[in-house]
């Protein structure tokens, strides 16, 4: 079995323990992973804190940090094939997606490389004639980054990129499900020339590793991506160290199609919105909110496309839907489908795990128009399960779209410009895509509110979020300080 190592203080080592990683396409173990426990977590945080205050890192100019990030981006591009193949092997994400995504991950590092020397402070027009006051933007400190299995290289880039650009150091905890791409990423990072301890990569389980890391007294900020239940643990953990947090959580994002939409385009976007990444996407457009005027026609086209999807081995370039990462994901999808059909939802296609080796679950569509209380409309399946609700009026479409505790993404398909603007204003979500879906860029902020979390990743603000402001007061008068008992 292939064996991977953790990366602490610039050194590779086996963890305190090891665990087997399963290949989602075969359900069989294929690699041994290092399991970080308390001692490893402490070592990683110590290494990150030592690096944070070291002259090699703290004394480096922002432009030099940018150059290192550019070098890292080049190395990622050079090693994209290996990284993509490992992510496919360990998580089941299809090779078509991992190849394209890893190439784009390099662009995220380039974007933050360019931002490193543009994080500016400010000068204040202070109301005292003998004072100069300015603001320095300083790195927030040691960052704990915790990511889930899906798109780990991408989800860690939007944390590591801005954090290092700002001058922080990082301990990244890869998911215990499919950590191989992150442990290989550590090998590539090691070649970029950063001082030891600037990035540390470990993996392990929630209570023994993630909880120790996120409650650690030397952690200043926790950047988390995962589910809302785990996020509640993270917030409780941060009661120990009072670290700031950013939380990128799940969604139940509405995909709204009006009767005047370009049907073919909307069908294709919906297929990508819910079946890409086998539905394991936080921005999955998992609630189709569709005009009753075109509902039958749209569902007919969607069913045809869903049933024509090529399901297969994740490393086959022809495959469009691969296995789910874990068997628990299959159980969740099956449970949601059966609860929903019992509540009156109509199963249009799919619904049960495929009778073949591996964690395969087919594209599934449920018409929930007659079952408004069904869990499939409120809970995230994190699998290829689409719930459908019809509407008659624009007001009804907006009400259904906003009837969720999440608030991450949304899509609106219409050719009516003024209606599009009304929907953009009315939808409560961090992202609105109009006549498109699932587009991302390093330049655009990404994140939500409500049960989808808080904070934004991507864009300039994300780099500023890894800084804290220091106010500096400098007295310009040579006169002695007058009355010491009067505050000036």
Nearest of 173, 178, 140 to residue 30 by alpha carbon: 178
Minimum Å distance from CB 459 to ligand NAD?
A: 14
Q: Yes or no: say if 268 and 308 are a contact pair by the CB < 8 Å rule.
A: no
Binding mask 266-295 for ligand NAD (x = CB under 6 A): ----------------x-------------
Burial degree of 305 (CB within 10 A; 0-12, 13-18, 19+): middle
Q: Which stretch binds ligand NAD (CB under 6 A): 101-109, 168-176, 335-343, 349-357?
A: 168-176
Q: Which stretch binds ligand NAD (CB under 6 A): 66-74, 92-100, 125-133, 173-181?
A: 173-181
Cα–Cα distance between 319 and 312 in angstroms, integer?
Answer: 5
Is 248 one of the annotated active-site residues of the chain? yes
Nearest of 174, 164, 201, 167 to residue 186 by alpha carbon: 201
Please report whether residue 320 would count as binding ligand NAD according to CB under 6 A.
Answer: no
Minimum Å distance from CB 466 to ligand NAD?
A: 17
Strand locations in 60-176 (E): 122-124, 131-139, 142-146, 169-174
Please report whether residue 91 would count as binding ligand NAD according to CB under 6 A.
Answer: no
Minimum Å distance from CB 326 to ligand NAD?
A: 8
Q: Which is nearer to ligand NAD, 23 or 177 (CB)?
A: 177
Q: Which stretch binds ligand NAD (CB under 6 A): 243-251, 353-361, 417-425, 471-479?
A: 243-251
Please report whether residue 218 would count as binding ligand NAD according to CB under 6 A.
Answer: no
Q: Collect all residues with Cβ–Cβ distance below 8 Å to 88 and sequence separation of at least 6.
A: 94, 95, 98, 314, 315, 322
Q: Which stretch binds ligand NAD (CB under 6 A): 13-21, 120-128, 242-250, 476-484?
A: 242-250
Please report whether residue 41 would count as binding ligand NAD according to CB under 6 A.
Answer: no
Please report whether residue 35 would count as binding ligand NAD according to CB under 6 A.
Answer: no
Please report whether residue 249 would count as binding ligand NAD according to CB under 6 A.
Answer: yes
Cα–Cα distance between 255 and 273 in angstroms, integer?
Answer: 8
Q: Which of 97, 176, 248, 380 is catalytic?
A: 248
Please report whether residue 108 would count as binding ligand NAD according to CB under 6 A.
Answer: no
Q: Which is nearer to ligand NAD, 171 or 267 (CB)?
A: 171
Please report whether residue 207 would count as binding ligand NAD according to CB under 6 A.
Answer: yes
Cα–Cα distance between 294 and 305 in angstroms, integer?
Answer: 17
Sheet holding 11-13, edge to edge: 11-13, 6-8, 199-203, 169-174, 142-146, 221-225, 244-248, 453-454
> What is the torsional sign of CA 97, 171, 455, 123?
negative
Binding mask 400-439 for ligand NAD (x = CB under 6 A): --------x-------------------------------
Cα–Cα distance between 409 and 402 in angstroms, integer?
Answer: 11
Please report whether residue 166 would count as binding ligand NAD according to CB under 6 A.
Answer: no
Angstrom distances, CA of residue 375 to CA of 297, 362, 455: 25, 19, 27
Strand locations in 51-140 (E): 122-124, 131-139
**Helix, strand, coil distribution of the chain in percent, nearest 5:** 40, 20, 40
Figure out which of the listed residues 21, 49, 79, 175 binds ligand NAD, where binding follows CB under 6 A. Answer: 175
Q: Collect all residues with Cβ–Cβ distance below 8 Å to 21 and sequence separation of at least 6.
A: 29, 30, 31, 32, 33, 90, 177, 178, 179, 180
Please report whether residue 234 would count as binding ligand NAD according to CB under 6 A.
Answer: yes
Q: Which of 168, 209, 282, 376 is catalytic?
A: 282
Please report whether residue 6 would count as binding ligand NAD according to CB under 6 A.
Answer: no
Hey, which residues between 327 and 386 contact ligand NAD (CB under 6 A)? 380, 382
Please report whether residue 210 would count as binding ligand NAD according to CB under 6 A.
Answer: yes
Residue ranges that bind ligand NAD, judged by CB under 6 A:
146-150, 155, 173, 175-176, 205-207, 210-211, 214, 225-227, 230, 233-234, 237, 248-250, 282, 380, 382, 408
Catalytic residues: 248, 282
């Amino acid at each position: 079995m292939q064996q991977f190592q953790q990366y602490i203080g610039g050194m590779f080592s086996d963890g305190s323990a090891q665990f087997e990683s399963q290949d989602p396409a075969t359900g069989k173990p294929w690699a041994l992973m290092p399991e970080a426990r308390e001692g490893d977590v402490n070592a990683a945080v110590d290494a990150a804190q030592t690096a944070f205050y070291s002259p090699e890192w703290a004394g480096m100019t922002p432009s030099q940090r940018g150059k290192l990030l550019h070098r890292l981006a080049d190395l990622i591009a050079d090693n994209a094939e290996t990284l993509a193949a490992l992510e496919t092997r360990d998580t089941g994400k299809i090779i078509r997606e991992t190849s394209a995504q890893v190439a784009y991950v390099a662009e995220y590092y380039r974007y933050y490389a360019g931002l490193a020397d543009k994080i500016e402070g400010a000068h204040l027009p202070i109301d005292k004639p003998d004072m100069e006051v300015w603001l320095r933007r300083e790195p927030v400190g040691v960052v704990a980054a915790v990511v889930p299995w899906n798109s780990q290289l991408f989800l860690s880039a939007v944390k590591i990129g801005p954090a290092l650009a700002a001058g922080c150091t990082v301990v990244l905890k890869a998911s215990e499900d499919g950590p191989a791409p992150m442990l290989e990423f550590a090998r590539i990072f090691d070649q970029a020339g950063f001082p030891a301890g600037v990035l540390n990569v470990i993996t392990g389980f929630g209570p023994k590793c993630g909880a120790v890391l996120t409650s650690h007294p030397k952690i200043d900020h926790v950047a988390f991506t995962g589910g809302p239940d785990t996020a509640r643990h993270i917030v409780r953990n941060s009661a120990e160290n009072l670290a700031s947090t950013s939380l990128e959580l799940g969604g139940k994002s509405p995909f709204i199609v009006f009767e005047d939409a370009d049907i073919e385009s909307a069908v294709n976007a919906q297929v990508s919105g819910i079946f890409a990444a086998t539905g394991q996407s936080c921005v999955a457009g998992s609630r189709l909110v569709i005009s009753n005027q075109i509902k039958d026609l749209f569902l007919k086209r969607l069913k045809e496309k869903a049933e024509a999807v090529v399901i297969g081995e994740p490393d086959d370039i022809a495959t469009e839907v691969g296995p789910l990462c874990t068997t628990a994901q299959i159980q969740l999808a099956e449970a949601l489908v059966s609860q929903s059909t019992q509540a009156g939802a109509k199963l249009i296609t799919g619904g049960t795990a495929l009778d073949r080796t591996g964690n395969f679950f087919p594209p599934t569509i449920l018409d929930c128009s007659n079952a408004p209380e069904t869990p499939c409309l409120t809970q995230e399946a994190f699998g290829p399960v689409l719930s459908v609700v019809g509407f008659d009026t624009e007001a009804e479409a907006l009400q259904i779209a906003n009837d969720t505790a999440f608030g991450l993404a949304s899509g609106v398909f219409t050719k009516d410009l003024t209606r599009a603007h009304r929907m953009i204003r009315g939808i409560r979500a961090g992202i609105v895509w109009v006549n498109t879906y699932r587009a991302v860029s390093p330049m655009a902020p990404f994140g939500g509110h409500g049960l989808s979390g808080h904070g934004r990743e991507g864009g300039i603000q994300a780099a500023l979020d890894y800084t804290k402001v220091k106010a500096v007061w400098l007295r310009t008068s040579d006169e002695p300080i007058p009355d010491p008992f009067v505050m000036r």
